[in-house]
Each structure stands twice: as C-alpha cells, then as structure tokens.
C-alpha cells in the first residue's frame, strides 16, 4: 500500500528524529527522573531495599550545619567568580583586540598565555597552585615575607580558603571568557564606530559605552551563563586542594554530592543534592536570559 505524502513526511521525520529522541530520553530524561525519585528515599548503594522518606533529605540539606555550609560556600564562590571572571576577561579582550592592530605577534602570544589554564589539566594546575600557596615554601608567601607583609595560610584558614579557591576559579575562567569576548569584538562592524564618531563619541569610553558594550550583548549573555555553570559545579580544585576542609570551610554542593554519594554511599541524600543543584542551575539560566535578553541588541 502506497503511503500519502503527509504520511511519508511524518515517517521521515520519525526516522530522522527518533534515534536522537530515544537517546535523550535514555541518557538525560530517564536518569533525571530516577534521581528525582531516589531523592525522596533513604536508598544507599548496595542496599536491596529502601524506604520512602518524603522531603527529609531536602530538609537535612538546608537544616544540617554541614549542608547549609555547602550551600553558603557555593553561593559565596559564585558571587565572587562570576563578576571578576567576566570583568577581567572583558578588560583583557579589549586590550588584546586593540594590541592586535599594532603588534599582532605579541597579541597572539598573550592570547595563548591567557588561554593556557583552559587547555591544561585542571588537577595538574591545582597541584601547581598547592605548591605556590604552601604556607612555608610557597612562592606567594615567600614573596609576601620578603616584602614584609603577612603570609597567611591560604588553604588552611577557614575564613580565607573559599576566597582562595574563588581566585583560582577566576584565573581558570578568564582565558575562556577572553576568547568569547574576542570573537564578539571581531564581529562588531567598523562602520558603527565611524557613525558613533560622527555623532560625537570620540573618546575611548564613549565608543565603548555607545557601540562596543551594546554590541557585545549576545556574547555577554553567553559568557554569563557559561561562567555561572562552571562556578556552580566547582569540584576539581576543592577535591584536589582542600577536600572540603578545613572543618567544611570549603565544602561545596558538588563536592558534598560526591562525598555523600561515593564515600558514604548515601544515594538518596546525594540525589537530593543533585536535584537542588539542577533546579538552581535551571532557575539561574532562565533568570539570566530573562534579564539580559533585552540588552543583547544594539538600539
């Protein structure tokens, strides 16, 4: 029996989209649903039975001092990393973009240097930072001591460690964000600067504020989402440098998830942390799109 044209088109659509749809269901939606169900249980890895406990895991996360510390530390880390990683990357991109017109080789060399933390293995870079920040033999403290300045315990001071990790996170993110901003700067038509100059925007700041910044709107939105995602899922530096210490002062959501799930085997509690992390990331992304999408076009 010969199928109609509409039926053939539907069959073709199903044939083309079906495998990808099944893969998304099996690899994304089904695991999320399973984790969501487990978050309401006391299931532990290896157990043959589990008990339905409702919202108890979520209540523990937000009422237990250790759970609250992980949430607070993550928010502090994100609040420090996002603005500084984006701001420094934009400044570096503007400098290299202007430098490329006069000294292209120097600009290319500096771009490679700034991008090195992105290309290198983060665990290896974390170990290098561990040596640099060593309280007695580290280069940072030796330099501070030579200048007559106090040399703190960067990774052992409970009031300082999360900010130290945030500084490393900024160092890690600047190179990638710089590349994105450079791509956005290269896409700005030179005619806009000429038109702005005719309208009286002759100074560098005026050109930036009237042309560069509005035209970087789509790039800024993308960089904000990427930086926020990376900041919320910080794990490698915590696991390598501090393991959440001292006294959970550097504990974060993702490291708490790892510790509770793969060291203590509390799959139900780890699933609850996963769902909180998932909801926060979705809400943050939607909020960024809602707030920034009005600013992504030059008007």
| pLDDT at 293 (0 to 100) | 60
Instruction: Give tens-digit pLDDT for 32-78.
Output: 899 999 999 999 887 888 899 989 999 988 888 998 999 999 999 99
Query: Domain for residue 257, yes or no?
Result: yes
Over residues 84-95, the mean pLDDT reads 94
Mean pLDDT (the chain) is 86
Instruction: Give tens-digit pLDDT for 105-161.
Output: 888 898 888 888 888 777 888 888 999 998 888 899 999 988 888 888 999 999 999
The boundaries of the domain holding residue 166 are 58-295
Q: Is the pLDDT of residue 88 over 90?
A: yes
Place of tokens 């010969």: 2
Give, to the nearest 10 degrees, the angle between helix 65-102 and helix 56-63.
Answer: 70
Burial of 129 (0-12, 13-18, 19+ CB in 10 A): buried
Domain count, the chain: 1
Cα–Cα distance list, 230 to 73, 143, 180, 248, 288 (Å)? 15, 31, 15, 21, 15
Query: Domain for residue 24, yes or no?
Result: no
| pLDDT at 163 (0 to 100) | 95
Instruction: Give tens-digit pLDDT for 229-256.
Output: 889 989 989 999 999 988 899 999 999 9
CATH of the domain at 266: 1.10.3720.10
Cα–Cα distance list, 159 to 18, 73, 165, 208 (Å)? 52, 11, 12, 38
DSSP per-residue codes, 142-182: HHHHHTT-----TTT-TTTHHHHHHHHHHHHHHHHHHHHHH
| pLDDT at 298 (0 to 100) | 44
SS3 sequence, 190-241? HHHHHHHHHCCCCCHHHHHHHHHHHHCHHHHHHHHHHHHHHHHCCCHHHHHH
| pLDDT at 2 (0 to 100) | 63
| pLDDT at 29 (0 to 100) | 86
For residue 47, give both structure tokens.
């157990």
For residue 88, give both structure tokens.
């420094």
Kindly state the percentage of the chain with pLDDT values over 90: 36
For residue 109, give both structure tokens.
């060399």
| pLDDT at 299 (0 to 100) | 47
Query: Domain for residue 62, yes or no?
Result: yes
C-alpha span between 176 and 119 (Å, rounded): 9
Query: Domain for residue 7, yes or no?
Result: no
Instruction: Give tens-digit pLDDT for 156-199.
Output: 999 999 999 999 999 999 999 999 999 999 888 888 877 877 77
The CA dihedral of 109, 111, 117, 119, to the nearest 10 degrees, is -90
Backbone angles phi, psi at 257, to 5 degrees: -60, -50
Q: What share of the chain is helix, strand, coil (3-state, %, to 5)?
A: 75, 0, 25
Query: Domain for residue 41, yes or no?
Result: no
Query: Domain for residue 43, yes or no?
Result: no
C-alpha span between 233 and 256 (Å, rounded): 11
Place of tokens 């006069």: 102
| pLDDT at 170 (0 to 100) | 94
Query: Domain for residue 23, yes or no?
Result: no
pTM of this structure = 0.85
294: confidence class by pLDDT, cuts 50, 70, 90: low
Burial letters 27-57, b for 16+ CB under 10 A, else e: eeeeeeeebeebbbbbbbeeeeeeeebeebb
| pLDDT at 270 (0 to 100) | 92
Query: Domain for residue 32, yes or no?
Result: no
């Amino acid at each position: 029996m010969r199928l109609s044209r509409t039926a053939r088109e539907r069959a073709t659509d199903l044939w083309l989209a079906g495998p990808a749809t099944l893969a998304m269901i099996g690899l994304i939606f089904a695991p999320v649903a399973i984790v969501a169900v487990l978050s309401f249980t006391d299931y532990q890895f290896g157990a043959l039975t589990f008990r339905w406990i409702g919202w108890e895991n979520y209540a523990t996360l937000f009422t237990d001092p250790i759970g609250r510390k992980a949430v607070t530390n993550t928010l502090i880390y994100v609040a420090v990393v996002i603005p500084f990683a984006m701001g420094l990357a934009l400044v570096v991109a503007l400098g290299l973009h202007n430098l490329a017109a006069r000294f292209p080789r120097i600009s290319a060399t500096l771009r490679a240097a700034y991008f090195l933390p992105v290309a290198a293995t983060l665990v290896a870079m974390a170990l290098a930072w561990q040596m640099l920040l060593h309280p007695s033999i580290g280069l940072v403290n030796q330099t501070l001591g030579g200048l007559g300045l106090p040399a703190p315990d960067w990774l052992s001071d409970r009031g300082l460690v999360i900010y130290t990790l945030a500084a490393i996170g900024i160092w890690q993110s600047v190179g990638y964000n710089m590349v994105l901003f450079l791509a956005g700067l290269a896409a700005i038509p030179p005619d806009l600067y000429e038109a702005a100059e005719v309208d009286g925007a002759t100074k560098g700041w005026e050109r930036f504020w009237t042309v560069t910044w509005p035209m970087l709107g789509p790039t800024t939105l993308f960089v904000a989402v990427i930086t926020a995602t990376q900041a919320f899922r910080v794990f490698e530096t915590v696991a390598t440098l501090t393991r959440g210490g001292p006294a959970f002062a550097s504990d974060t959501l993702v490291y708490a998830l790892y510790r509770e799930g793969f060291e203590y085997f509390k799959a139900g509690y780890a699933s609850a942390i996963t769902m909180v992390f998932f909801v926060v990331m979705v809400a943050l992304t939607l909020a960024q799109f809602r707030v920034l999408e009005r600013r992504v076009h030059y008007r």
